């Protein structure tokens, strides 16, 4: 320290701290040889506390206000230095200013996923993060337990330790609570309040107060979240059979609107749609086991046929409808029919599946000779 710094330090008679930062928790008032003049003024602003330290021992603590430093204002320091009858000469002491305001938006979070046992999903891994607010409520204890002789102490110097404390207690409380994973979001406030109360005593040991803790998010691994998204999608779809029928109807509509096939293409598209629906129904009936108390799946439907009536394509018709046409004479053995899988239109009498329709009907009369 140069001669001008020494002279300037000897002339200091006002001790104060104007904090230009937002994260300084403790600041040591610097001056030459730690000398303080008799009658010097001490200014402690709102949100601050001043702590006098003599030869490593914490002496007097001053709350917000303006003080003239005399024997009566420094009872503990006077006792330590043996001032029985007052003093008028400069004395030596370290002065630390502690910020007692609230430090907000401090982050906490799990570094690695935490293993927990959930009643619905079994073993799961969770990540959590949030923010908390704390303040120095016992400046003497904070300097004694944490700061020591550092000239400047910031929130960054202690947040790692506080974060570890919060995460440790959070995981312990979360495991004991037994709250299902899907219900955690509805209990963020309760978890934050409970952890604040639970960990408060540990903060007090350091001279700190945890005023508020917020849980912002508790998340599952991406793979589990993707599975939940699929489960949610199934819930939105609702009845799977009805959804399949709707998809089939859409496919039939698109096939019928195919411009390249004309009327025959529309018929083929409809036939393919019915066949596809039939096959999907069979697959669903064979692959899905009925649940207890649930209704059995519908029986598979017989193949549908298109019929050429009056040189016009009609249908498709199921077996019952074809039987009625056969009884009325509109469907004969010579009537052309077609279904999915047949290469061309052929007479109904040549289709094995339709032989039963003509069992009771007499054959056509022979032509007159």
Domain CATH number, residue 109: 3.30.479.30
Domain ends where: 81, 99, 117?
A: 99
Same domain, 107 and 95: no
* Mean pLDDT confidence for 340-349: 84
Same domain, 57 and 168: no
Lowest-confidence region among 24-28, 154-158, 267-271: 267-271
Q: pLDDT at position 7, please?
A: 46
Q: Domain for residue 220, yes or no?
A: yes
Same domain, 149 and 256: no
Same domain, 19 and 58: yes
Same domain, 121 and 139: yes
Q: Flag whether pLDDT at 110 surpasses 50.
A: yes
Q: Report the chain's C-alpha Rg in angstroms.
A: 44
Q: Which residue has the higher pLDDT, 133 or 350?
A: 133
Q: Domain for residue 219, yes or no?
A: yes
Q: Domain for residue 293, yes or no?
A: no
Q: pLDDT at position 357, please?
A: 79
Q: Domain for residue 43, yes or no?
A: yes
Q: Which residue has the higher pLDDT, 288 or 128?
A: 128
Angle at 98 between CA 95 and CA 100, to 5 degrees: 150
Q: pLDDT at position 72, please?
A: 82
CA 69 – CA 61 distance, rounded (Å): 12
Same domain, 247 and 164: no
pLDDT band at 100 (very low <50, low <70, confident <90, very high): very high
Q: Domain for residue 367, yes or no?
A: no
Report the percentage of the chain scoring pLDDT > 70: 74
CA 365 – CA 258 distance, rounded (Å): 43
Domain containing 163 equals 103-225
Q: Domain for residue 366, yes or no?
A: no
Number of domains in the chain: 4
Q: pLDDT at position 249, please?
A: 73
pLDDT band at 211 (very low <50, low <70, confident <90, very high): very high
CA 313 – CA 323 distance, rounded (Å): 17
Domain ends where: 194, 225, 256?
A: 225
Report the percentage of the chain scoring pLDDT > 90: 29
Q: Domain for residue 67, yes or no?
A: yes
Same domain, 163 and 252: no
Same domain, 87 and 137: no
Same domain, 182 and 135: yes
Q: Domain for residue 231, yes or no?
A: no
Same domain, 89 and 175: no
Same domain, 95 and 110: no
Domain ends where: 225, 248, 274?
A: 225
Same domain, 114 and 29: no
CA 176 – CA 165 distance, rounded (Å): 17
Place of tokens 């949610």: 232
What are 5-61's pLDDT values in tens digits?
554 445 558 999 999 999 999 999 987 777 888 889 999 999 999 999 988 889 999
């Amino acid at each position: 320290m140069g001669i001008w710094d020494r002279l300037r330090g000897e002339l200091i008679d006002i001790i104060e701290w104007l904090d230009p930062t937002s994260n300084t928790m403790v600041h040591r008032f610097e001056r030459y040889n730690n000398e303080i003049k008799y009658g010097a003024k001490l200014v402690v602003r709102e949100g601050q506390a001043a702590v006098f330290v003599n030869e490593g021992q914490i002496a007097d603590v001053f709350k917000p206000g303006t003080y003239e430093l005399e024997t009566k204002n420094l009872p503990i320091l006077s006792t330590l230095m043996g001032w029985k009858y007052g003093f008028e000469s400069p004395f030596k002491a370290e002065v630390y200013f502690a910020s007692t305001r609230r430090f907000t938006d401090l982050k906490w979070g799990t570094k690695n996923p935490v293993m927990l046992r959930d009643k619905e999903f079994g073993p799961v891994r969770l990540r959590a993060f949030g923010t908390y607010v704390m303040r120095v409520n016992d400046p003497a204890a904070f300097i004694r337990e944490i700061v020591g002789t550092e000239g400047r102490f910031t929130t960054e110097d202690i947040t790692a330790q506080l974060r570890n404390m919060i995460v440790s207690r959070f995981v312990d409380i979360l495991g004991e609570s037994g709250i299902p994973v899907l219900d955690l979001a509805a209990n963020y406030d309760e978890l934050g309040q409970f952890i604040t109360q639970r960990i408060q005593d540990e903060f007090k040991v350091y001279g700190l107060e945890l005023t508020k803790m917020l849980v912002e998010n508790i998340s599952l691994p991406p793979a589990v979240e993707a599975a939940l998204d699929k489960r949610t999608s199934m819930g939105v779809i609702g009845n799977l059979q009805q959804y399949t029928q709707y998809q089939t109807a859409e496919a039939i509509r698109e096939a019928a609107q195919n411009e390249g096939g004309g009327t025959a293409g529309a018929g083929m598209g409809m036939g393919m749609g019915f066949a596809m629906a039939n096959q999907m129904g069979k697959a669903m009936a064979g692959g899905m086991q009925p649940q207890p108390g649930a209704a059995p799946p519908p029986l598979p439907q017989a193949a549908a046929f298109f019929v050429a009536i009056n040189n016009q394509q009609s249908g498709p018709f199921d077996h019952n409808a074809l039987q009625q046409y056969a009884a009325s004479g509109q469907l004969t053995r010579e009537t052309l029919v077609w279904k999915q899988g047949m290469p061309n239109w052929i007479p109904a009498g040549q289709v094995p599946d339709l032989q039963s329709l003509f069992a009771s009907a007499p054959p056509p009369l022979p032509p007159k000779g």
